[in-house]
Amino acid sequence: MASQDRPVCQIFSFQDCKASPDPIFELPAQCLTPTPVPIVIDNGSFQTRAGWAASAAEFDSPRLLFRSVAARSRGAARSETQIGNDIPNLEPLRWLLKSQFDRNVVVNFEIQELIFDYVFTHLGIASEGGVEHPIVLTEAPCNPLHCRQMMSELLFECYRVPYVSYGVDGLYSFYHNNTQRNIRPTHTGLVLSSGYHCSHILPVINGRLDAVNCKRVNVAGSQAASYLQRLLQLKYPGHLAAITLSRMEELLHEHSYTAVDYHEELEKWRSPEFYEREVHRMQLPFSGKVPGGGVSVEERQERRAQQLRRLQEINARRREEKLQQDQERLDRLLAVQELLDDGLLDQFHKRLVELNMDSAEELQSYINKLQLAVEQGRQKLLHSDGADGKMEVGVNLLHLLFPMDEGDGVALMDPDFPEDTLPEKPANVVQPMFNMAEYHQLFVGTERLRCPEILFQPSLTGEDQMGLMETLQYVLARYSPEQQEALVSNVFLTGGNMQYPGMKERVERELLAMRPFQSHFKVTMASQPALDAWYGARDWEGWISRQEYEEKGGEYLSEHCASNAFIPMKIAKPVPARPAESSITTLTLTGTSSAVSTVTSALTPSCSTVAADVSVVTS
């Protein structure tokens, strides 16, 4: 009965999806007449989405979706660069991958140019002479002016586009969903956007972004994937190469969830029944062939006997060679001894020096040892099939376990070698079967909720910063109670890293603990958190013309409801030098040609304040 109630384990396989190259579309005629249709590019740090801002049904979704990476070896030609879906598998080229982003800000404009080339080419636009279509492009909240200036310069000068419009991806998604829900304009709300490199808190007051109180949290999808990879590599050190970053991203997207109450959920995982029911066993690819697994007992015994016979033959041949070498050496020493017997003392002493011996007694000692060794060698050869068989088996088994050179093998052939044999294992003993499939399984348990939790507790990864909800509370504290009520009445979640199951419920629980008693709030999830930024950008306009770019500079921004606030860069102009006033006293020092300013100070008796007027007069 207990075996029937045992929960069935869940075994999953990694998809290991490989990207297929994007087709090169033909430029549709309706995108050229009567006026060129804008191109909408959601320039995300994880994925780039590009398409046409046309009303036709065939243009309702982005034409291109690809990873925002480029792979090019050092010194390779520009044409050899692989972009996005041209890279079928990212892992072999992981060390070559480059992105145009540093966190969520575009800084590498050489890679950005390659991304634009890829987009225009696959949309069917020849960009050699210029791009005639306006461009709608997303950018980071509070994007630095220098980065926008470089982006405008790239689009206007390199591609010669007629118009450009910039907007924040999270705000595009916010207004797109508000339009779908029929919320009247002058929206007020709080946007929580989490992407691949960082997350943002974006307060919107009366339809405009309050850029002063925007906050960024440097924790998002890439940090969660790296954290999951580190956890599993520590848990399974035997599968380090198989625990790749691409598979960790798949685990996050398909098997992870956000706990409504993190500590309460961890307590549930202490239960063995809950663990067996909820743990996901990820099957790694493996080869089912086990060395020697398909060989019967008789075949193994026959192979062993053949190896023993072969090693016995090698051993006998080595004994014969050693006996022959000892006999030749003995003959040489006996020839030297005959010189002594014949009375040829001069030749005898000369041969002793050549043999590195000092006396006739030493020569006789060597002769006796060699005679004994030769006699023992002959006896072993004569009785090789008799009593020495056990010793031969032991020596051969030692050679089987530790293969050696011939010289080393001769040294092991010692008559004092122990004559113990290895015990035979009975053939009827059942050996435990090794489950190769289970060995190549990753048990993903509490990791399913620990990795998304770093969005709320970055300290789990060692990050010394506030979590998403703690940052939200800090932002709300900067507003009046009436504004806080208006902001929390429309809390909007968007971004690819917000798609974990349970994310909305977790934010609602955190807000319930954060807000005053009996206060009201509303949390809404984007209909398509990863794509709504592109759909929202398709419906907005706030163009920067080429003439405005040339007149007002590359950092200029035509503001609209979903854009950043434009704060022009004020450069202080140098003030022309005034003639010296009468209040400045100039002293000329003897031996110098420089003018030194005088410092006049007044000390008040009632306090120790010193007022000093310093003036510098250059000669």
Is 217 a residue whose pLDDT tops 90?
yes
In CATH, what number is assigned to the domain containing residue 496? 3.30.420.570
443-457 pLDDT tens trace: 999 999 999 999 999
* H/E segment holding residue 324: helix 297-341
Supply the pLDDT for residue 581.
46
333 and 253 share one domain? no
372 and 450 share one domain? no
Supply the pLDDT for residue 387.
43
469-519 pLDDT tens trace: 999 999 999 999 999 999 999 999 999 999 999 999 999 999 999 999 989
Is 291 a residue whose pLDDT tops 60?
no
339 and 270 share one domain? no
Evaluate whether residue 247 is within a structural domain. yes
Supply the pLDDT for residue 591.
43
Is 427 a residue whose pLDDT tops 70?
no
364-418 pLDDT tens trace: 888 888 888 888 888 877 776 554 445 444 444 444 444 444 444 433 444 444 4
Supply the pLDDT for residue 449.
97
Number of domains in the chain: 2
Phi-psi region of 195 (alpha: psi -120 to 50; beta: other; left: phi over 0): beta
Expressed in percent and rounded to 5, the helix, strand and coil fractions of the chain are 45, 15, 40
Evaluate whether residue 39 is within a structural domain. no
Evaluate whether residue 535 is within a structural domain. no
Is 588 a residue whose pLDDT tops 70?
no
* H/E segment holding residue 488: helix 481-488
Cα 590–Cα 594–Cα 599 angle in degrees, nearest 5: 90
Q: Which of 478, 496, 530 is the last residue of a domain?
A: 530
279 and 313 share one domain? no
Supply the pLDDT for residue 345.
83
Q: Which of 342, 357, 380 is the last residue of a domain?
A: 380
**pLDDT band of 191, cuts 50, 70, 90:** very high
Supply the pLDDT for residue 611.
37
267 and 337 share one domain? no
Evaluate whether residue 479 is within a structural domain. yes
**pLDDT band of 357, cuts 50, 70, 90:** confident
230 and 278 share one domain? yes
Evaluate whether residue 51 is within a structural domain. no
Q: Which of 475, 497, 530 is the last residue of a domain?
A: 530
Strand ranges (E), 257-359 = 280-283
What are the residue ranges of helices labelled H in 32-168?
109-122, 145-153
**pLDDT band of 604, cuts 50, 70, 90:** very low
275 and 315 share one domain? no
Query: Which of residues 301 and 583 earns the better pLDDT score?
Result: 301
Evaluate whether residue 17 is within a structural domain. no
63-121 pLDDT tens trace: 999 999 999 877 778 878 999 999 999 999 999 999 999 999 999 999 999 999 999 99
Q: Token match 């044999």: residue?
A: 421
Evaluate whether residue 3 is within a structural domain. no
Mean pLDDT of 335-345: 82
248 and 319 share one domain? no
CA distances from 480 to 191, 487, 496 (A): 18, 11, 31
Supply the pLDDT for residue 398.
43
**pLDDT band of 466, cuts 50, 70, 90:** very high
262 and 332 share one domain? no
- Domain range for 500 is 221-286+441-530
272 and 332 share one domain? no
Q: What percent of the chain has pLDDT over 70?
A: 81
514-549 pLDDT tens trace: 999 989 999 999 999 999 999 999 988 789 999 999
Strand ranges (E), 79-198 = 82-83, 97-98, 101-102, 105-106, 135-139, 163-168, 189-194
Is 419 a residue whose pLDDT tops 60?
no
Q: Token match 């193994």: residue?
A: 300
192-210 pLDDT tens trace: 999 999 999 999 999 999 9
274 and 334 share one domain? no
Mean pLDDT of 140-165: 96
509 and 450 share one domain? yes
Cα 552–Cα 163–Cα 53 angle in degrees, nearest 5: 145
Evaluate whether residue 334 is within a structural domain. yes
Supply the pLDDT for residue 313.
86
